[in-house]
Each structure stands twice: as C-alpha cells, then as structure tokens.
Amino acid sequence: AIEEIKDIASKLNVENIMLYPYAHLSTNLASPQKAMEMLKIIEEELKKEYNVKRAPFGWYKAFKLSCKGHPLAELSRQIECKKEEEKEEVVSNWYILTPKGELIEAEKFDFKGYEGLKKFYEYEAFGSRKVEKEPAHIKLMKEHELVDYESGSDYGNMRWYPKGYLIKRLLEEKVEEICLNAGAMEVETPIMYDVNHPALSKYLKKFPARQYRVKADKGKEFFLRFAACFGQYLMAKDMTISYKNLPIRLFELAKSFRREQHGEVTGIKRLRAFTMPDMHTICRDEKQALEEFKKQYLLSLEWAKILEIDGEIAMRFVKDFFEKHRDYVVDLVKKWGKPVLVEIWDKRYFYFVMKFEINMNDSVGKAFALSTVQIDVENPKSFDITYIDEDGKEKYPYLLHASISGGIDRCVCALLEKEAMKIKNGQKGSYPFWLAPTQVRLIPVSHEFVNDCLELAKKIKARIDIDDRDESVSRKIRDAEREWVPIIIVYGEKEKNEGKFKPRYRFECSDKEVTVEKLNEIIEEKMQDFPFRKLPLPILLSKRPKFR
C-alpha cells in the first residue's frame, strides 16, 4: 500500500498527502484497532518523504472534495495480502531408545519398571497442557512463603518473597558458574525489539500469540523478548568471527516474557514472565556442533543431579539426521543409563535437526521441560551470522541453543513437585541443603538463653536463625519441621555448660551429639562447592513479618 501511494504521488508530482480512513470503500472491514495500527505505520513511512496528515475516523460525515479534472485524479487501488501458505502437518513417530541401542515403537515397549517414562510418553503423545487440577507445588510455595500470585500484574507474573528469592538467586548463581566454567562469555541484551526489524519480523510470525507488545515514541512498536535468542543473534551478526575463534559461547541470564494461554499458565510451572539462562554456541561445522552438544548434554545431566530429581529424557530428530548419527545418540543414552523417549520427524519442520530435554512429571500427571540443548541449522542464515573459514570464505555456522537448567522458576517448581510426591508417599519433604532458606535453627528453651544463641550463631557457618517467640519448645520444633529446616538444635542449660548439642537432622547423619566444630564440618560437607548467600530475613523469628 505504501509503495502504491508513493507511485501515484510521484506521477502527480505532489508533496502533500492526506491519509483518509473511508470505511464505505471496503466490503471487508478490519477492526478499528487494526485499521488504526496500519494507518499509523503508513503515516510514519510516508513522512520520511512527504508532508503527511492523517484524518481521524468519522471525519467523512461532512466534507467537500474538489479536483481539477486531472486525468489521474480518480484513482483507486485494492491492496490484498497474500494468504499464508498452509502449514504442512508435522508427521512424527514415537519410539523408546534403550542404552543397548534398541529402537522400539513406543506402543510396543514394555514399560514395566519405567512407570515415569510411560507417564511422560502418554502426556507427550496424547496429553493436554490445559490445567484441570492444581499441581501440588502451588500449595507448598504459599505455605513456605516462597512465591505467590500478584493481582496487580498480568496473570503469570509472580511476586517472590525473601525465602523464595534466595532459592531462585542461588540456582541462578550455580547455573551461571557452570556456563562460565564451560567457556561461555556472559552478555546482556535488550528485553524489547522492533516488531518491524527485517530479520525479527519473520521470526515473530512463527509465534504470533506469544508476544507482549509495547508502544513507544512516534508510533513505533516493540515486543518483549520471549527468549534471549534475538539479542544474541543480532550481537553475533555484528561480530567478526574467524574459524580460529570457534566454538564461541554467549550466555545470558535472561528475563523473558511469553503470553502463554491463560488455561495453561499455572503456579510457577508455566509463566508469562520467567528467568531463563540462555546460551548460544556458534560452531564451525556439524562435527564441532556434535562435540559441543555432548558437552552441554552432560552438563544438563549434572544439573539434574544437583536438583536431586529423577526426570525423563526426550530426544527429537529429523529422520535423516538420526540415521546418520545413531551410534552417537546411543552413546548419549548410555550416559543417562535408562531408556529415553524419541520423537522422529520425517523431514525438518523447525529450525533444529536435533533436540534433547530433561522433563519432569508433576503431581497431576503432566510433564514440563527443564534442561534443553538444540542444534540449529536455520537461524544463522536467517540472521546473517557468518564466520571466515580457513579458505578465506564467509560461511554460515551451526548454532546450538542451550539452557543447562531450563527456566529457574521451573527448577523451583520441580523441587517442590518432587517433595510433594515424597510427602504423599509418607516421607518428609526437604530442600537440598544448599538451598534451604534456614539451614540451622536454634531453639532456646527460654528467653534467658536467647543471647547465648545469638553468640553461638556467630560461630556456625550457615544460614542460621533463632526461634525466640513466646511458644512452647514442642511448637517451635513442629514449626521448624514444617519449614523443612535441615538442622534443629534445642539449646538450654545443659548445652551451654557442656558445649555440645544433639541436633535433629532432616538428612541421614550418624553424629548424634556434636560440638560447634563438628557441626561446621557437617555443614561444610553438605555445602560442597555450592554458592552461599546470607539469611534473607531477621535472625530472630519474633522480628519477622508474615508475607501472607
């Protein structure tokens, strides 16, 4: 439409253009909102070359139009958009691949002993994301004052209380450390991008319903990123890269936004605003891409151990790629040590030829993905990301997308869902020691021992607090148990005189009576090399507000 207007203006040799919304000219009207959006875009583009005025809707109710009989005065154009080509239906087949290399049709596989894999397959092949029953982590996240809904924001944008934020930040620090140790370069990119950017606009068409849109100056429109891909693509495009520099790993701890369907948003499992550690690896060729994929796959398996979760792996391939690299894939499955779900497409429908995820089944029979690594063969060309090869020629690289942990919010969800299922089976819920908001709780038998506990707390190398409330000792112990505090110490005259305590542990420990020195040894052993942050709340429980 813009080019047609420019063409006529050029033929008429005019500098002034009036944009005039005249609804009666069309038999197929768009909504007023869409029409205004299009008019503003046309106005902004034409203003670059002409003096442009835009009339408001309804102005036509009283007007006079005069012309001097110019042969081009009466012109009309009907601009039609090309219909989007119908998308090809994705044809995929489901299999189970065992560590022995057996590829068995999923429907024919004997799932005895692999009930989790069976649940995951049934959800992937036949399940729905729609939330029909509230998953158990929602109750726990509220009871433990970790995270909650925020009525003042959009659905799926959460508020994190001090204890929950502590857990979230520790997870972020750990995955950041893993990626940096793996050779990644940490960057920061914008959270919003121009919807009319040539390369990005094509990408957006693939995810039309997922975007938050933001209006800016002069009618410009931006979208909030739904992954860190955009900024890292554009950064890579502007880089000067030699084959000697490869592989290059760019990492960002990215706040991202997706307008997921309302019926699918639930708790902290599926959100509209979330934190995703995003790493993109630029590789010289397929060989290097496979080498990097394996390294990042192993880092993802290590992350599952860190979270202490027993997930299920899905691997997805284009058929030709799988057949070419079958031995390589079987070796990956051996590293996992149990069968995995495999989806094979007859041809490439997406930007990747190979993808893996670690998934977790939740308490209501649905699954969600955590760690993922993908081999991308499309976006380097789409975004003009190139490197100079040994022969001096510009070439397109392979690109790996990886989130070693998956969404951080989902990691917290996974921890809580796992514990909810343990509780359902009659076991005690607990946090991994390094993530427990309070690692040691001192319970003085009376107020006269509070100051002694404050002095003792200075000697213990952990997040430690003191229950100084006017409650019975038994009530204080019950409350500490409800909070999953891993080490509870009742402190009175005997402990003060002897300098020894008998802790209640929420984990296996043979040391029934300990000194401060021995307690610190136990704590150090539990902490290993995990990151540490200070207690996020007042040390005295009597000084703490309630968050809900």
pLDDT of residue 12: 77
66 lies in a domain? no
**Res. 24 pLDDT band, cuts 50 70 90:** low
Task: Identify the CATH number of the domain in which residue 34 sits.
Answer: 3.50.80.10
Check whether residue 392 and residue 406 sit in a common domain.
yes
* 45-81 residue pLDDT tens: 888 788 888 877 655 555 555 554 555 545 666 676 6
Check whether residue 272 and residue 207 sit in a common domain.
no
How many angstroms separate the CA atoms of 366 and 448, rounded?
51
Check whether residue 184 and residue 198 sit in a common domain.
no
Check whether residue 130 and residue 35 sit in a common domain.
no
Check whether residue 239 and residue 378 sit in a common domain.
yes
Percentage of the chain surpassing pLDDT 90? Answer: 74
CB-CB neighbours of 348 under 10 Å: 15
197 lies in a domain? yes
Residue 486 has pLDDT above 60, yes or no: yes
Check whether residue 359 and residue 448 sit in a common domain.
no
Residue 264 has pLDDT above 60, yes or no: yes
415 lies in a domain? yes
Check whether residue 218 and residue 259 sit in a common domain.
no
426 lies in a domain? no
464 lies in a domain? yes
**Res. 26 pLDDT band, cuts 50 70 90:** low
235 lies in a domain? yes
**Res. 87 pLDDT band, cuts 50 70 90:** low
Percentage of the chain surpassing pLDDT 70? Answer: 91
Phi, psi torsion values for 67, nearest 5 degrees:
-145, 165
Check whether residue 400 and residue 291 sit in a common domain.
yes
pLDDT of residue 266: 92
Residue 106 has pLDDT above 80, yes or no: yes
What DSSP character marks residue 156? T
347: containing domain? 92-190+227-421
Give the domain-ending residue among 61, 80, 111.
61
Contact 363, 136 (CB under 8 A): yes
Q: What is the longest distance spanned by two Cα atoms in the chain?
A: 110
- Lowest mean pLDDT, pick from 85-89, 90-94, 206-210, 359-363: 85-89
Residue 86 has pLDDT above 80, yes or no: no
Residue 407 has pLDDT above 60, yes or no: yes
- HEC profile of 364-427: CCCEEEEEEEEEECCHHHHCCCCEECCCCCEECCEEEEEECCCCHHHHHHHHHHHHHHHHHCCC
Kindly state the average pLDDT of the residues 180-190.
98
- The alpha carbon dihedral of 165, 166, 170, 176 has a sign of positive
Mean pLDDT of all residues belonging to the chain: 91
Residue 411 has pLDDT above 70, yes or no: yes
Task: Identify the CATH number of the domain in which residue 473 sits.
Answer: 3.40.50.800
- Lowest mean pLDDT, pick from 90-99, 177-186, 512-521: 90-99
Residue 357 has pLDDT above 60, yes or no: yes
Give the domain-ending residue among 203, 224, 245.
224
pLDDT of residue 251: 98
Check whether residue 444 and residue 346 sit in a common domain.
no
- Lowest mean pLDDT, pick from 50-59, 96-105, 382-391, 438-447: 50-59
Residue 371 has pLDDT above 70, yes or no: yes
Check whether residue 244 and residue 317 sit in a common domain.
yes
Kindly state the average pLDDT of the residues 222-231.
93
Give the domain-ending residue among 17, 40, 61.
61
75 lies in a domain? no
Check whether residue 207 and residue 246 sit in a common domain.
no
Token pair belonging to 331: 């070796």
Helix (H) or strand (E) holding 42: helix 32-46
Check whether residue 161 and residue 37 sit in a common domain.
no
Token pair belonging to 440: 């040691």
68 lies in a domain? no
pLDDT of residue 30: 72
What b/e readout covers 64-95, taking b as 16+ CB neighbours within 10 angstroms? eeeeeeeeeeeeeeeeeeeeeeeeeeeeeebb
Kindly state the average pLDDT of the residues 267-295.
97
Kindly state the average pLDDT of the residues 257-262.
89
Residue 544 has pLDDT above 70, yes or no: yes
For the chain, the C-alpha Rg in angstroms (whole number) is 30
How many angstroms separate the CA atoms of 370 and 404, rounded?
8
Q: In the chain, helix, strand, coil percent, each to 5?
A: 40, 20, 40
Kindly state the average pLDDT of the residues 139-155.
97
State how many domains the chain has: 4
- Lowest mean pLDDT, pick from 84-88, 94-98, 223-227, 477-481: 84-88
Highest mean pLDDT among 85-94, 136-145, 215-224: 136-145
